Structure 1
Amino acid sequence: MLKSSGNSRYDVTLRSPSLHEAVRRGDLASVSECLKNGSDVNEVDTSGNTALLLAACIGQKDVYTAIVGSLIEKGADVNAYNKGFTPLYNAVFYKRAEAVEMLLKAGAWLRPTYRNELHLLAEIGGSNILRLLLADQRCTPEVINRPEEDGRTALHIAAQFCHKNCLRMLIDKGGDLSATNLEGESVADVVFEQIVNPEKFITEILDNNISIEQVEKYKYNANVDFAVLAPKTSRRQMEVISSLLVAASEDEKIEVLQHPLIELYLILKWDRICYFFYFWIFGYFVFAVSMGIHGTLIIHNYNHQHFNIPIAVTKYLVILTSSGLLAHAILQCILVRRNYFQRYEIWMNLICTCLSLTVAVTANDVNRSEWVLHITSIAVLLAWIELMLLIGRLPSLGHYALMFSAVLQNVVKVLLAFVCLLIGFTLSFSILFHNHNLGQFSDPWRSLVKTTVMMMGEFEYGDLYLESAESSSLLPATSRVVFFLFIILTSIVLMNLMVGVAVSDIQELQRRGSAKKLEKQAEFLCQLEKVISSRQLNSKYVPAVIKRIFLRRSFVETTYKVRTCNTFRRTQKIPRRLIDSIMSIAKGHNQVPDGT
């Protein structure tokens, strides 16, 4: 209390401002005086605010920093909480980096509610402040991937607001790209939806996980960190790649999947659990062979009743294998997150196994069920086509199978573009040659089949005109003109166009084939890992030894060392091309001269 001097009639008692008032006004001198006079630094006002919480009212950055420092020095509670606000949250909101650093050193930490300072920075930006929070030892991957009320993590928000630097820092510190919100939307979904050129952004993230280590004067090793692909908080090691496959478009997948980090990871993962794939492909081989033999025996059983035992054996083989494959397909539909029914493989699998079970169950009635032969032929064809697609996932043979698929797609596109031309010639030939003695053009359907065969060069010109050249019903002049146009337009122009389009860019075709092979490989690994980690396999009824075998075989260490020596390549079975790509990224990222 201070008293004024002078006439007592005009003497007034002057009260020094309270600590809260001094902080609210931003009066550094008054704050220092209050603290010197022993004011309670943690006293709360009528609104429940401490002086440190009220410091957020100060507009001048330097004054704010000085007052916060003074309050902390006097023992202010750095984790004071009122109505959802903390001193750290206020400092982060107003982007006061120096104050944030002081508060962290004094023991302040993220507020305990769902939405914390990481979510705030992900929305408003501020990589310099985020770096301070991430450098704290308390900032673990579990904290980084903590969701809001709606399930969004800080990574979701950073990707939504296109704060690439913040998103990159969160990922490098253990952020999970596969984390999903309550709507099932992963971080990868938001990245590929909101960020411009997302494949380049993902490539930069992957490059940052490859570093170089000098082991001798002129010898280097590359250290590869798979943490971005297999974060500790993720339940499965293939979850991130699965999210990338779902989120990326076809062109984006080509860029992302062929990154050396992902390709190396898939090779290592494949080497761990390829035995499961070989067992699966063996089962599918048994299914296709037994289905083919069963269908063949059914045909011969029409005329000879000597195949009852082989038919019974193959019948039970078909029932056993097709039931297992059908159960596997249904389990995939349950475990796979979305878009699985948009893939033709699942439809082929379901149709083939259902038809096969139908054939096997009704085999005893084949003598009076002619339709069984028709569905048997379809089931056998689909079984062997599926086996071909399955072989397409093998690293050594899959490249050619998937190139076949790419060529098929190009051919189908050309045929769809010129289907009107094919229909026109089909109907024209059906009219002109309707009285042909072999009946090949007797109806539009037969005419379509014959016209398609003629496109391949099987014209049979002599059979068409030799024996009935003078018959008015064949309209020789008109038919020869139409036939000549058919040769020019379809056999020469259209067929050469299809060949040219199919193989016009061999390098691009090989690149897409390689990416497709990696995609199929990754899909299988994702599906198998989901089966291995599913609740059904990990129930109490499954022996513990089986659980350990499955889990141990599917696990890959998140760190790996790449060497350039020949012994390493032979023992690890890693292509030299891939090793060179990894070393190139490591040297370029760390600015190591190529001549070293």
Structure 2
Amino acid sequence: MDVKNCGFIDPQGQLSAALANRDIREFHTALDNGALPNLQDERHTTLYEKALSTPGCAQFIEACLAHGCNVNYINQKLNKAAISYAADSRDPSNLAVLLRHGGVQLDRKYSQLTPLNSLAKNLTAENASMVGSCIQLLLEHGASPNVVDQGEFTPLHHVLKNRKIEAGTKKELIGLFLTQPQLDIDSYRNGQVRQMLKDQYPELSLPELREPGAEIDCERLLRTLRDGDETQFEQQFAEYHQNASGNADNQRNANQEEYLSLLEESIKRGKQRAFEVILETGININQTKLNAISPVELAVIWGNHRALDVLLKHPQLRLNSNSKLLNAVISRLDEQPLDDFCDHQRCLQLLLESDRVDINEADKGGQVPLSYAVKYRNIKVAQELLKHGAYIGARSAFGDLPIQEMDPKVLEEHFDSCITTNGEKPGDQGFEIVINYKNLMRRQQESGQSDKRPSIPHQLQDEMTPIAYIAESKELRHLLQHPLISSFLFLKWHRLSVIFYLNFLLYTLFTASIITHTLLKFHESDHTALTALFGLFSWIGIVYLIVREVIQFAMSPLLHFWSITNLMEVALIVLSILTCMEASYDKETQRVLAVFTILLVSLEFCLLVGSLPVLSISTHMLMLRAVSSSFIKSFALYSIFVLTFSLCFYILFGKPQVDTKDSTPEPAKEGKDDGHFNTFSVPIEALIKTIVMLTGEFDAGDIKFDSVYTYLIFLLFVFFMTIVLFNLLNGLAVSDTQVGAHFLFISGLTQLQINPLFRRRSRHRRS
């Protein structure tokens, strides 16, 4: 226990003390307790940086990497990378831990020096052994030996100039550099390195001389790019392109692939001048390597906003359906930039401002950019996407909407911004309210953009999906009162009301016709002409129902099969046909079919009446639907107890009675079958009798209690089922009724808000 801190230990202080004392166990304990190794102090220094730059801290570096530290960590204040801190330690073990994790940017500069340049420049007799091991590690892992510092000195040049180290050590280091196949000793400072090698070590075998007019290949251009010398690259590339332009067609295709490699490398390195030089050759920027990504996607991933800006404005750019640019950049906004040219936030702005990028593009899982912004809790990005017209009703592969996890305040504030005016005073004749419904409808591609993106087949969009979810969500339900939603519903109803009323009229005629025809048919009325007339009307109604179902299926096949109402309508069509046709089966079957037909017809008619935009009617229908649904769900669970008690009653009260000769009068024998229902002697009847008893109809006088156990079971049933369960179901019904009334009250307020808004004499314009 830490007495000074009253028993509480500061994990961050414990981590700092452990590093200072070189106590790796205490260091691990502090990390497990929540200490953050990459938390900056008042000097903008982290413990991770201290471990990297301190010799003998390999284990501490490993522990930091295991707890979330990045091998490409960059101090934003100093613009110094983790590899530069490790090089400052001059400890090969520190450097080896970092390099062992892979993906390290070995040639990133700090103060115009790469780690290799820094080590070679600070080589002394005291640290020659350790620095030599560090240089060897960097070269083995792919560090470029040709990157120059501000004085155009390469690492080998610094070693050759060094007179502080022993001759043997110096020669070993020079031999290490000469083993690198990409070593260039001719391109810098007029070939001074080659001359120094000849003068100091004439016995050494040197690489072939690179004459200024020597052949330049793609590998040499890539090395120049990696070395960071854009001026030299421009000179070499101009010569390379001039030689390649006169080649045959098949060679040109090969050159295009090489150009693509150079273009990708320039994007990764942030070499804008080299990027533009390659682009001027007319390279196909839509071309990709096998199983690779396009240059525009690469620019987004690496955060190279300058290259992305040029590519988005390129007239030949074609974005395919797999280019999820917005999703890619949103998922990387929280990442630490790898270099100065990396700016994912700027890339996001460029993509949003470009008319070539679909703001509702979806990945394989159906996740749109707005879903990514909500998932990463990035409120500012979500607001920007909404501002640029992101559709809030796009469903993912799992049926989720982007607004499901969104803060209601963010959505409400954006809805407020969608309602503006034309700048006139409210009392003026030309006053207009401008309402923008861009987020409630999926943005369609404009005709002028058809050459920029591949055409997308037109699909029917359900514009009511987001509004239906808002109505069902307790957190968002209050937004139904917002003028944006209410006015949208008003316009929607204004356009569809004719279809609704026409359907209601036709179905009403069909309901009256088929019920009248069924009654006349089964009562064998003498009015045969009237029966035939209503039969004809019924067949016309059946044809109408079939046409309606076919249209609904064509519009949305999947939703059609998952809808209980549509399945009920299909069953109604089948039963109506069987009822109206001249059947060859028996009368009893016809009567049963007719009964179910009338039930389904009446139920469908009731649903249509409940859909009328009359508050008093729709309120009752909504309450009926809510209570019925809640009761069915609850009773489905509690039916286990109903079945249990029915079996108990069947076993206790359904015992077969022993018939004694002439012990029962004849009239009683005649009425014996009428008592089966009350004696629980048949399992199915026992179940039905138990359900009836659940409502309070016991008929206890007809039940024969012959033991104390029968009384006990019956009293348990009365208490748990009739008193507790039935009252519980009634309570749920009352609760659902109150919720339904509240929801309809909100809808009523919405309707009241709609009417004054559109009864104005001012014009309404949809943006």
Task: Tell me the TM-score range normalised by the shorter chain.
Answer: 0.5 to 0.7
SS, match of residue 678 in structure 2:
coil
| Structure-1 residue corresponding to 2:307 | 99
Cross-structure match for 2:496: 273
Q: Which residue identity does 2:437 align to in structure 1?
A: F
C-alpha separation between the residues in 2 aligned to 1:13 and 1:447? Answer: 102
In the alignment, which residue of structure 1 is the partner of 2:594?
A: 376
Structure 2 residue identity aligned to 1:386: E
Q: Which amino acid aligns with 2:356?
A: C
Larger deviation, residues 157-166 vs 281-290: 157-166
Match of 2:732 among 501, 507, 517: 501
Q: Is the 8 A contact 1:392 1:398 kept in 2?
A: yes
CA RMSD of aligned residues (A): 5.5
Inter-CA distance 495–315: structure 2 relative to 1 (3 Å threshold) = same
1:241 aligns with 2:479: no
Task: Give the 3 Å change call, closer, same or farther, for CA 289–82 of structure 1 in structure 2.
Answer: closer
Q: Secondary structure at the match of 1:395?
A: coil
The 3 A distance-change label for structure 1 pair 448 and 292 is farther
Q: Considering Cα pairs closer than 8 Å and 6+ residues apart, tell me whether 1 or 2 has the greater RCO.
A: 1
Residue 579 of structure 1 corresponds to none
Are 1:432 and 1:474, in contact at CA under 8 Å, matched by a contact in 2? no
Normalized per residue, which structure has more helix?
A: 1
1:395 matched to 2:613 = yes
- CA distance in 2 between counterparts of 1:453 and 1:328 reads 40
Q: Kindly provide the CA deviation profile for residues 438-474 of structure 1, in whole angstroms up to 9, marking residues without a partner as x.
A: 545366455555554444344566xx46xxxxxx978
Alpha-carbon shift at residue 385 of structure 1 (Å): 1.0
**In the alignment, does 2:361 pair up with 1:139?**
no
Q: Structure 1 residues 410 and 78 mapped into 2: Cα distance closer, same or farther (>3 Å)? A: same
Q: CA deviation at 1:285?
A: 1.8
Deviation at 1:46, TM superposition (A): 6.3
Moved more, 215-224 or 422-431: 215-224
Contact 2:538 2:580 in 1 (8 A): yes
- What amino acid sits opposite 1:441 in the alignment? N
Distance 2:521 2:229 in 1: 98
Cα distance change of structure 1 residues 282 and 250 upon mapping to structure 2, 3 Å threshold = same
Contact 1:433 1:441 in 2 (8 A): no
Q: Which residue in 1 is equivalent to 2:93?
A: none
Match of 1:385 in 2: 603
Quote the Cα distance in structure 2 between the aligned partners of 1:343 and 1:211.
34
Deviation at 1:92, TM superposition (A): 3.4
Q: Is the 8 A contact 1:88 1:109 kept in 2?
A: no
| 8 A contact 1:403–1:513 mirrored in 2 | no
**Partner Cα separation in structure 1 for residue 587 and residue 754 of structure 2:** 65
From 193, 198, 201, the counterpart of 2:404: 198
The amino acid of 2:553's aligned partner reads: C
Q: Give the alignment partner of residue 444 of structure 2, picking from 227, 232, 239.
A: 232
**What one-letter code is carried by the residue in structure 1 that aligns with 2:262?**
L
Matched letter for residue 15 of structure 1: P
Q: Judging changes above 3 Å, is the alpha-carbon distance between structure 1 residues 382 and 258 closer, same or farther for their aligned structure 2 residues?
A: farther
In 2: Cα distance, 1:42 partner to 1:513 partner: 75
> What residue number does 2:577 align with?
357
- Provide the secondary structure at the position in 2 that maps to 1:504: helix
C-alpha separation in 2, matches of 1:321 and 1:26: 79
Normalization by structure 2: what TM-score? 0.51
* Alpha-carbon contact 2:467-2:485 (below 8 Å) kept: no
In the alignment, the residues of structure 1 paired with residue 280 and residue 752 of structure 2 have an alpha-carbon distance, to the nearest angstrom, of 54
Could you tell me whether the CA contact under 8 Å between 1:221 and 1:564 is conserved in 2? no
Conserved 8 A contact 1:119-1:154 = no
Name structure 2 gaps, 5 residues minimum: 1-186, 200-208, 246-251, 333-343, 446-455, 658-667, 762-767
Kept in 2: contact 1:211–1:224 (CA 8 A): yes
1:492 to 723, 732, 739: 723
Report the alpha carbon displacement of residue 386 of structure 1 after superposing the two structures with TM: 1.4
In structure 2, the residue matched to 1:189 is: 396
Indicate the residue corresponding to 1:581 in structure 2. Answer: none
For 1:504, give the aligned amino acid.
Answer: S
Q: Which sections of structure 1, spanning at least 5 residues, go unmatched?
A: 179-186, 466-471, 519-561, 573-596
Which residue in 1 is equivalent to 2:540?
A: 320
Aligned partners of 2:330 and 2:348 also within 8 Å: no
Match of 2:232 among 19, 30, 35: 30
Aligned to 1:590: none
Residues 25-72 of structure 1 show CA distances to partners (whole Å, capped at 9, x for unaligned) of 42134356679999969968963368796254359956x135446x49
Instruction: Identify the residue that residue 540 of structure 1 maps to in structure 2.
Output: none
For 1:407-486, what aligned pairs fall within 5 Å after superposition?
407-423=627-643, 426=646, 428=649, 431=654, 439=675, 440-441=677-678, 444=682, 445=684, 448-449=687-688, 451-459=690-698, 464=701
Q: State whether residues 695 and 722 of structure 2, in contact with CA within 8 Å, keep that contact through their aligned partners in structure 1.
A: yes
Cα 1:295–1:244, aligned 2, differ >3 Å: closer, same or farther?
same
CA shift, 1:101, in A, is: 3.0
CA distance in 2 between partners of 1:340 and 1:374 (Å): 27
SS in 2 for 1:410: helix
Q: Following TM superposition, by how much is the alpha carbon of 1:494 offset from its aligned partner in structure 2, in angstroms?
A: 2.5
The alpha-carbon deviation at position 406 of structure 1 amounts to 1.3
Shift of 1:407: 0.6
SS at match of 2:496: helix
When Rg is computed on C-alpha atoms for both structures, the one with the higher figure is: 2
2:564 is aligned to 344
- The Cα of 1:403 is off from its aligned counterpart by 2.0
Is residue 291–residue 318 contact of structure 1 (8 Å, CA) maintained in 2? Answer: yes
Q: Is the 8 A contact 2:361 2:369 kept in 1?
A: no
Q: Distance in 2 between matches of 1:478 and 1:177?
A: 62
Query: TM-score by structure 1 length?
Result: 0.63
Shift of 1:76: 5.8
The correspondence of residues 242-261 of structure 1 with structure 2, limited to 5 A, is 255=476, 259=480, 260=482, 261=484
Q: Among all aligned residue pairs of Structure 1 and Structure 2, give the percentage whose two residues are the same amino acid.
A: 20
8 Å Cα contact 1:56-1:90 kept in structure 2: yes
Whole-Å separation in 1 of the counterparts to 2:297 and 2:241: 25
Structure 2 CA distance for partners of 1:168 and 1:58, relative to 1, 3 Å: same
Task: Quickly say closer, same or farther: Cα 1:222–1:201, change in 2 above 3 A.
Answer: farther
Partner of 1:47: helix, strand, or coil? helix
Distance 1:503 1:423 in 2: 26
- How many Å separate the matches in 2 of 1:295 and 1:235? 47
Give the distance between the partners of 2:410 and 2:643, measured in 1 at CA.
51
- Report the AA paired with residue 388 of structure 1: C
Distance 2:191 2:315 in 1: 43
3-state SS of 1:189 partner = coil
Q: Secondary structure of 1:278's match? A: helix
How many residues were matched structurally? 493
CA distance in 2 between counterparts of 1:226 and 1:41 reads: 57
Deviations along 1:154-174, one digit per CA (max 9) or x if unpaired, are 948985995786787667656
Which amino acid is 2:212 matched to? R
Alpha-carbon spacing, 1:328–1:256, altered in 2? closer, same or farther (3 Å): farther
Instruction: Using the TM superposition, give the Cα deviation of residue 276 of structure 1 relative to its aligned residue in structure 2, in angstroms.
Output: 0.8
Determine if contact 2:479/2:485 at 8 Å carries over to the other structure: yes
Provide Cα deviations, 1:191-232, integer angstroms capped at 9, x if missing partner.
75597x735279956863542436467999864322333222
Query: CA distance change for structure 1 residues 205 and 20 in 2, over 3 Å: closer, same or farther?
Result: farther
* Whole-angstrom CA distance in 2 between matches of 1:500 and 1:4: 94
1:213 match: secondary structure: strand
The 5-angstrom pairing of residues 51-200 of structure 1 reads 54=262, 56-58=264-266, 64-68=271-275, 71=277, 77=282, 83=288, 88=296, 90-102=298-310, 104=312, 107=314, 110-111=317-318, 115-116=322-323, 118=325, 121=328, 125=332, 126-136=344-354, 138-139=355-356, 155=368, 173=388, 188-190=395-397, 192=399, 198-200=404-406
Distance in 2, matches of 1:332 and 1:132, equals: 41
TM-aligned CA distance change 1:59 to 1:323, over 3 Å: closer
Structure 2 CA distance for partners of 1:319 and 1:372, relative to 1, 3 Å:
same
Is the partner of 2:620 in helix, strand or coil?
A: helix
Matched with 1:15 is 212
- Displacement of 1:281: 1.6
Comparing 339-348 with 278-287, greater Cα deviation is found at 339-348
- Given that 2:300 and 2:308 are in contact with CA atoms closer than 8 Å, whether structure 1 keeps it comes out as yes
Q: 2:517 matched to 1:294?
A: yes
Alignment of 1:39-50 (within 5 A): 47-48=255-256
Letter of the structure 2 residue corresponding to residue 110 of structure 1: L
